[in-house]
Amino acid sequence: MSLSPDQLKQTLDSLPQAGCCYLAFSGGLDSCVLLHLLHELGPRLPYPLRAIHVHHGLQAGADAWQQHCEEVCSGYRIPLISLELDLLPDKGDSLEAVAREARYKALARQLSPGDLLLTAQHQDDQAETLLLQLLRGSGPAGLAAMPLLSEFSPGWLARPLLQESRQSIEAYAEEKGLVWQEDPSNQDQRFDRNFIRHRVMPLLQSRWPSASLTLARSARFSGEMLTLAREEMAVELERVQNSLSGSLSVALLKAMSSVRIRHLLRYWIDLNGAPMPNSKKLMRIESEAILGREDAKPLVAWGGWEIRRYRDDLILRESRSAEPLPERIVWHNKQKLELPAGLGTLVATNGSSGLNRERWQRGEVEVRFRQGGERCVPAGRGHHKSLKKLFQEAGLPPWERDRTPLIYIDGELAAIPGILICEEFSLADGDQGILLQICRSTIE
C-alpha cells in the first residue's frame, strides 16, 4: 500500500511554508484518511494543525456528522472549528454549486495571510472533474481541473492526495480501522458528478482499467500547458497594458491573432478578479470593442462587469448603478464625503497645490453633476472652455462625464477632482492648498 504518512510528508514539504495548516474536514472517507495521516505525522508537521467542519444544514444527518467530526478530532487532540451555513439558494440555482461556493467562502474567512488549507480530493475526483469540464465545453483552465496547489484568499489551497486513487484511500481506511460518515446525497444520480461516478466511470474502467489515472494525467498536462500560457500572457500584458489605468491598447491588440487576443483577454479578466465571460461574450469583445468601428461605443456586460472602449483604451470595470443622481450635495465637514451610486469617496487633504484654502474654508462647498452648459476658466489658461471640451482634453470617457463630481464653492464651479481647478479658485504663489481625491475600490 503506497499511501503512508511519509509519502504525505514529502508532498507537504513541496508546498509553501505556512503559519498554520487547516484541514477541510467533512467526516467522510477521504477527509478522515487525510486527518489520520496528518495525526500520524504529529510533531513532524512544521506548523500547527486545525480542522474545519462546515455544517451546511442541508441533510437530516448533518448534526450527527458534526458530532462525529468533534469526536474524531477530540480523540486526536486536534482543534476543530465548526461553521454553520444558512443557505438560501435562488430559484433555479444549483444547490450543489451554491453549497460549494458558500463552503469555500466560509473556509477562506478562517485563513490568515500565508496559511494553508488542505482538502482531500483524490485521483478519481480529478478524473471526474475533467470529464465534467469536457462535457461543459471548457477551455484550458477547465481542462486543467484541480491543481495540487493554488492561491486561496490570503493563503494557499492544497490537495495532497491528488495522486492517490480511491481504491488506495479505501484500503488505508480499512487497514487502520477508520470510521467515517456516508453522505446519502453522494448516491443521487440527478447530480452530474454522481452520474459520472456511478455510471460513466465504471463503464470506462471496464474497458480501460487505468482510466482514472490517465484522465488525471491529462488534467495535469493541461495544467502545465496553462501555466506556460499564463507566463507568456503575463509578458504580453505588460507590453499592451497602460501601467497607470490598467486599460489595454486597442491598436496593439488589433495586431494580434484572434487566438492570442482571446487568451490575453481571459488572462486580463481573471487577473482583475472578474468572472469569466462565456465564449460568445469574448467573441463580442473582440469583434465590437477591439475590431469594431472607431466611432462606435461598444459595451459588453456580464456578471456585474463590463468592457468598453474609448479612443485607444479597452477598459474593464465593475458595472455601476444607473440610479439618478441628486442635483446638489452640501459637503458640510469638507473632509470626507461618500458619493452616491457607488461613485466612491471624496477626500480633501492639505497640499502644496490645489484649491485656494481661504475660499475653501469660508465658502459653502457643494458637489453637483453635469447638467449642460457648464464652463470654466482653467487655472493658467486665461479663457473659458466648455465642460465637454475639458473632459475631452482630460481623456475622460463619455459614460463617465455625467457621473463625475463637480465641486462648487458659493454657487460657482471651482474644481473637477483630478482634472482641473478653475482660475478664480486657484492658489496664490507660496500658499498651501486643498487637494481633492476620489477614492474608489473598483477598477477604472
- Parse the chain into domains and list their residue ranges: 5-192, 241-318, 328-439
Measured from the Cβ of residue 359, the count of other Cβ atoms closer than 10 Å reads 18
| pLDDT at 441 (0 to 100) | 53
Contact assessment for residue 30 and residue 165, using Cβ atoms and an 8 Å cutoff:
no
Contact assessment for residue 187 and residue 21, using Cβ atoms and an 8 Å cutoff:
no
| pLDDT at 429 (0 to 100) | 66
| pLDDT at 89 (0 to 100) | 63
| pLDDT at 444 (0 to 100) | 38
64 strand-pairing partners: none
Alpha-carbon span 131 to 83, nearest angstrom:
31
80 membership: H or E segment, kind and range: strand 80-84
Contact assessment for residue 354 and residue 437, using Cβ atoms and an 8 Å cutoff:
no
| pLDDT at 222 (0 to 100) | 92
| pLDDT at 341 (0 to 100) | 86
Give me the CATH code for the 241-318 domain, please: 1.20.59.20
Alpha-carbon span 52 to 274, nearest angstrom:
28
Own/partner pairs for 383-386, CB < 8 Å, 24+ apart?
A: none
Ranges in the chain, pLDDT < 50: 1, 442-444
Which of the four CATH numbers 3.40.50.300, 3.60.15.10, 3.40.640.10, 3.40.50.620 does domain 5-192 have?
Answer: 3.40.50.620
Phi, psi of 275 (to 5 degrees): -65, 150
User: Helices marked H in 198-288 — which ranges?
Assistant: 201-207, 211-240, 250-254, 258-271, 279-284
Q: How many residues does the chain have?
A: 444
132-173, pLDDT tens digit by residue?
999 988 888 888 989 999 999 899 999 999 999 999 999 999
Contact assessment for residue 355 and residue 421, using Cβ atoms and an 8 Å cutoff:
yes
Alpha-carbon span 302 to 94, nearest angstrom:
19
**Same fold: 5-192 with 241-318:** no
pTM over 0.75: no
Alpha-carbon span 365 to 362, nearest angstrom:
9
